[in-house]
Amino acid sequence: MSLVTQTETRIKIPSPNTLFKLFRAINSQYAWSTNLTLSLKQLELVGFLKPCTLLVCGSSVHINSLHKAWINNQIIGPAGYQVNCLGELSSLHIELINSLPGKPLPDTLYHLIGRLNNSKVPATVASLMAELHKYYQCLHSQPPTDQLVFETLNSMVTEKELVLKGS
């Protein structure tokens, strides 16, 4: 619910929590309705959008009490602020931004080889492939093909980024 918008830029903007407390205090002080006073006490600050929008929540009874007070022009802002609007946020949709699954393959292979070495497990192609499948399973993603893994390992050896040691 959007509640308070700053109208004077000369004053120092308080913290969202302070602004919310000031909003509740001023409206409780001048409220003619005990329902509104109780509702203001029950509201909870759940968020803040710059420059001065408070997001609050409460039970439907308390939100409705606030609606009625707004309709009857009984909601006022703290000193230096004016309540410009009151709105209800019915839903919030978040669009997830997908990233590449994990690190680039060479970095992932270095990481897994290091983990195998630290565990005193020989970093063979078989053990590396098993670890790679576990790694991508944790990411809920398809692992690279065996051919791509072999080509990447070969390239890492050719470029002397990876040294093969015999047993």
The DSSP code sequence of 95-121 is -PPP--SSS-HHHHHHHHHHHHHHTT-
Residue type, 144: P
Sequence-distant (≥ 6) Cβ neighbours of residue 26 within 8 angstroms: 76, 77, 78, 79
pTM: 0.51
Residue type, 139: L
- Residue 143: CB atoms within 10 Å: 19
- pLDDT in 10s for each residue of the chain, 167 residues: 545 544 444 567 778 888 889 999 999 888 778 888 999 999 998 888 877 788 888 888 998 898 888 888 888 888 888 887 887 777 777 776 655 555 688 988 998 999 999 999 998 889 999 999 888 877 767 888 889 999 999 999 999 888 888 65
Beta bridge partners of 48: 54
Q: What does the alpha-carbon distance between residue 76 and residue 7 come to, in Å, rounded to a whole number? A: 13
62 by Cβ neighbours in 10 Å (0-12 / 13-18 / 19+) ranks as buried
